[in-house]
Structure 1
Amino acid sequence: MKITEIKTFICHAYRTNWVFVKVITDSGLYGVGEATLEMKEQTVLQAINELKRYLIGKDPHNIEAIWHDCYRDAYWRGGVVLMSALAAIDMALWDIKGKDLGVPVYQLLGGKVRDAVPCYANGWFAPAKTPEEFAEKAREAVKTGFKGLKWDPFGSAYMNLSKKEFSYALACIGAVTDAVGSDIDILIEGHGRFNMPTAIRVAHALEDFDITWFEEPIPPDHMEGLAQLRRKTKVPIAAGERLYSRWDYRSFLNQECADFIQPDVSHAGGISELKKIATMAECYYIPLCPHNPSGPIANAATLHIAASTPNFHFLETMSSDVPYRNKISTEKVEFMDGMMQINDLPGLGIDINEEAIAEYNYEPRDLRHYNGKLTEIRPENAKGYFVK
């Protein structure tokens, strides 16, 4: 079997644009992957195209060799663009191998250690602005079955928080906590926005709430600072979505930067690399909680990793999405009692619809984190995409 063609697709998805890949072989089998890279979709598309000359004519079963050669010959190693491009290719190769052997990808990764994956919700809050609106949205999310809720209550703040912003954030956290009760995990997102004194101040304030973690409290460039902050607070720290390889994670784990790690399968080199990162973290008894806010192919790939990884803990899940998510793919996510079920279809168990994708052309999107539009993460007609 040989790779004969690589096709790429961009599909507008309101918050961002999904980037999909199809790796086609001379046997008629093909695999799909995802390289969604917010605000850099056109750039990662070009990076995928530049990998084509390494892929055409290769045996798709040789995933490790293909991954290694693409990484090695980039010369300028690592970085989110190369690793996202490589991630999509890697997913597609695993998809092909699973289909050819007639087994789900998780079987190729060692088999299942669980039949269902516990999830927490992101995006549930759109378009709330006040603590009262957040509380009401939280009640609705819990009614749908989610056992954990994550959000960023810090508005457009960057580096510092005024007294008014600080009071608002705490009021919002208190309102949601009171609304959902003590059985629901509360996860506070920082989006890497604070300087050290502000992050420490916020972390100490969060100690008054029974939260599961404080995520990315400072920018991701300063691992030593994150480790220092972790030592200065009782609140668990989660981070790692903006680390892109096992080499990044070696330093991260050695410096004891976080209590939970959050690599993203569509940015950190794909299934192959994420499994290696997870195994490294297992040596430190650090739970894996993958970053997972993107499209259906990335979600499918992440589920196979979660299914086969002993130290997996919690999966990020968008509570709703554009109404055509189920139109542009064959995704059928079974969600019951806060858990996503693992399907037993060969490969990744999902495909894309090229004709439907073509109906939703690329639209540029800017970062919302610092412009006061943080909660405008979903369209008015957003809906759930789960099979219950």
Structure 2
Amino acid sequence: MKITAIRTYRVEEFANVLWVHVETDAGVTGLGETFYGAEACEAHIHNTLAVRLLGQNPLNIELLHKEMVSLPNAQASTGVEYRAASAVDIALWDIFGKVAGQPVHMMLGGQSWDRMRIYNTCAGTRYVRTNKIKPVDTWNLAAGGAEAPSPYEDLDAFMTRAGELAEDLLSNGITAMKIWPFDPAAIENKGMFITAEQMKTAIRPFELIRKAVGDRMEIMVEMHSLWNLPVAMDIARALEPYQPRWFEDAIRMNSPQALAEFARSTTTWTCASETLGSRFAYKEYLDRDATHVVMADLCWTGGLTEGRKIAAMADTYHRPFAPHDCIGPVGFAAAIHMSISQPNTLIQESVRAFYRGWYRELVTEVPRIEGGYVYPMEGPGLGTELVPQFFDRSDLSHRLSEAA
């Protein structure tokens, strides 16, 4: 079997998402995805990776993965080179599963879990439907006008009525949620300080959640790498009475020593996250006891090939693994296969505004989520494809590289 063509797809409505098809002479096509800087990732795939991949056996995944991530400037990062390689890698695993007639999680070693607990990242429906990515200002409510309001505008809900949101999530069996009410203050003050009034405002959602549902809801705190170390430590101390589950990206993920200092300052777990690329970056944080939870986004950090190595390495440090998802439907499906297959998976991120909303506009199958759990995908490969009408969109652009 040989790779005969690589196609990439972008649409204006989801300007930061890139989809990839890897085609073979056996008629089997693999689907991959990455996120952010889609046009740059597309250029890297066609200008740099295609010449190395066309004519190769797509089942030699480890060989091709090493070829893609061993290029200059493509090591231990989540930059364009790694994101592009991640999309192709996911597509190669999709091919592997389809050839074998098995779901990808079986190719990764089978099911360690019959189902996986999820948490809800409380984003809104408009996130990703834009070419801007900034905390808060583009994660907000749906645009006004004729557009029908969604029941899943969870960002507005956690900022204005967090207790009601927690009750609603619990009524659907979801017992963990992730929120980021400190972002407005961080943006206003450039992460340098937080006033007493801003601290009270940001803590208010935690007060409302605990008042409404007590300790029945776990709360993950997303800090988006917006704060300096002293202020991040102040925030952690202020939140400890509300017993959050973890602090994620409390500072920029470029100093294991600084994050280790943060981790020592609080009894709450520290999560080092999808902003790290490859197992080599994670090892630096693990070696310094800087993280309790290892999070990776398969669309950024090297695909399924690197993701399983990161999970296995976390296990050697007795740390749980928690796949990230706040991107697109193909990456979400890949994350579910990874979660189900890894014995040290703690919990799977999900965004109900996405999997009950725009994901269904793009792919044929979305993972089944019921009662606060996600269940294994059942079809061969990833178990999902781009819907036929995707290729008829008026805002679709397409690029092709094929063997001579």
Fold shared, TM-score > 0.5 on shorter chain:
yes
Tell me the residue number matched to 1:18.
17
Tell me if structure 1 keeps the 8 A contact 2:159–2:181: no
Matched, 1:208 2:206: no
For the residues of structure 1 that align with 2:120 and 2:332, how far apart are their CA atoms? 13
Once the two structures are TM-superposed, the CA of residue 58 in structure 1 deviates from its matched residue by 0.5
Tell me if structure 1 keeps the 8 A contact 2:76–2:276: no
Q: AA paired with 1:70? A: M
Tell me the residue number matched to 2:110.
111
Q: Which runs of 5+ in 1 are unaligned?
A: 364-388
Once the two structures are TM-superposed, the CA of residue 125 in structure 1 deviates from its matched residue by 5.5
For the residues of structure 1 that align with 2:392 and 2:224, how far apart are their CA atoms? 32
Once the two structures are TM-superposed, the CA of residue 324 in structure 1 deviates from its matched residue by 4.1
* Local SS of the residue matching 1:64: helix
Once the two structures are TM-superposed, the CA of residue 357 in structure 1 deviates from its matched residue by 5.3
Q: 1:9 to 1:317 in 2, by over 3 A?
A: same
Q: 1:76 to 1:261 in 2, by over 3 A?
A: closer
Which shifted more, 246-255 or 178-187? 178-187
For the residues of structure 2 that align with 1:223 and 1:110, how far apart are their CA atoms? 31
Tell me if structure 2 keeps the 8 A contact 1:125–1:151: no
Query: Which of 294, 304, 324 is the matching residue for 2:337?
Result: 304
- Summarize deviations over 1:234-284 as a string: whole Å, max 9, x none: 111112211010111111110111111111100010000000011110011
Q: AA paired with 1:65? A: L
Tell me the residue number matched to 1:46.
43
Q: AA paired with 2:246? A: W
For the residues of structure 2 that align with 1:51 and 1:264, how far apart are their CA atoms? 21
Once the two structures are TM-superposed, the CA of residue 116 in structure 1 deviates from its matched residue by 0.9
Tell me the residue number matched to 1:96.
95
Q: 1:154 to 1:8 in 2, by over 3 A?
A: same
Once the two structures are TM-superposed, the CA of residue 222 in structure 1 deviates from its matched residue by 1.9
Matched, 1:149 2:177: yes
- Summarize deviations over 1:304-336 as a string: whole Å, max 9, x none: 111110110011101112844213211232111
TM-score by length of 2: 0.84
Query: Which of 57, 61, 64 is the matching residue for 1:63?
Result: 61
1:245-260 equivalence runs, <5 A:
245-260=278-293
Matched, 1:331 2:365: yes
For the residues of structure 2 that align with 1:131 and 1:121, how far apart are their CA atoms? 15
Once the two structures are TM-superposed, the CA of residue 126 in structure 1 deviates from its matched residue by 3.4
Q: 1:326 to 1:213 in 2, by over 3 A?
A: same
Tell me the residue number matched to 2:127.
none
For the residues of structure 1 that align with 2:17 and 2:73, how far apart are their CA atoms? 27
Once the two structures are TM-superposed, the CA of residue 13 in structure 1 deviates from its matched residue by 5.6
* Local SS of the residue matching 1:157: helix
Which shifted more, 128-137 or 228-237? 128-137
Q: 1:327 to 1:25 in 2, by over 3 A?
A: same
Once the two structures are TM-superposed, the CA of residue 140 in structure 1 deviates from its matched residue by 2.2
For the residues of structure 2 that align with 1:286 and 1:27, how far apart are their CA atoms? 41
Once the two structures are TM-superposed, the CA of residue 362 in structure 1 deviates from its matched residue by 7.5
Tell me if structure 2 keeps the 8 A contact 1:17–1:362: no
Q: 1:129 to 1:77 in 2, by over 3 A?
A: same
Tell me if structure 1 keeps the 8 A contact 2:104–2:380: yes
For the residues of structure 1 that align with 2:297 and 2:226, how far apart are their CA atoms? 19
Q: AA paired with 1:171? A: R
- Summarize deviations over 1:198-242 as a string: whole Å, max 9, x none: 111111111111211111111112221110010111111112211
Tell me the residue number matched to 2:5.
5
Q: AA paired with 2:167? A: R
1:1-388 equivalence runs, <5 A:
1-12=1-12, 17-37=16-36, 40-49=37-46, 50-74=48-72, 76-80=74-78, 81-122=80-121, 123=123, 126-128=154-156, 132-158=160-186, 159=191, 160-321=193-354, 323-353=357-387, 355-356=389-390, 359=393, 361=395
For the residues of structure 2 that align with 1:319 and 1:13, how far apart are their CA atoms? 19
Query: Larger helix proportion, structure 1 or 2?
Result: 2
- Summarize deviations over 1:285-319 as a string: whole Å, max 9, x none: 11001111111110111111111101100111011
Q: 1:130 to 1:83 in 2, by over 3 A?
A: closer
Once the two structures are TM-superposed, the CA of residue 12 in structure 1 deviates from its matched residue by 4.9
* Local SS of the residue matching 1:182: helix
Tell me the residue number matched to 1:381.
none
Tell me if structure 2 keeps the 8 A contact 1:12–1:18: no
Tell me the residue number matched to 2:138.
none
For the residues of structure 2 that align with 1:186 and 1:236, how far apart are their CA atoms? 12
Q: 1:178 to 1:258 in 2, by over 3 A?
A: same
Q: AA paired with 1:66? A: L
Q: AA paired with 2:102? A: V
* Local SS of the residue matching 1:316: strand
For the residues of structure 2 that align with 1:254 and 1:295, how far apart are their CA atoms? 32
- Size of the aligned set, in residue pairs, is 360
For the residues of structure 1 that align with 2:182 and 2:6, how far apart are their CA atoms? 42
* Local SS of the residue matching 2:75: coil
For the residues of structure 1 that align with 2:211 and 2:272, how far apart are their CA atoms? 26
- Summarize deviations over 1:159-218 as a string: whole Å, max 9, x none: 121111101111121112222331211111111111111111111111111211111111
Taking only the aligned residue pairs, the percentage that are identical comes to 30
Runs of 4+ in structure 1 over 4 Å off: 129-132
Tell me the residue number matched to 1:386.
none
Q: AA paired with 1:63? A: I
For the residues of structure 2 that align with 1:108 and 1:144, how far apart are their CA atoms? 32
Q: 1:133 to 1:361 in 2, by over 3 A?
A: farther
* Local SS of the residue matching 1:276: helix
* Local SS of the residue matching 2:39: helix
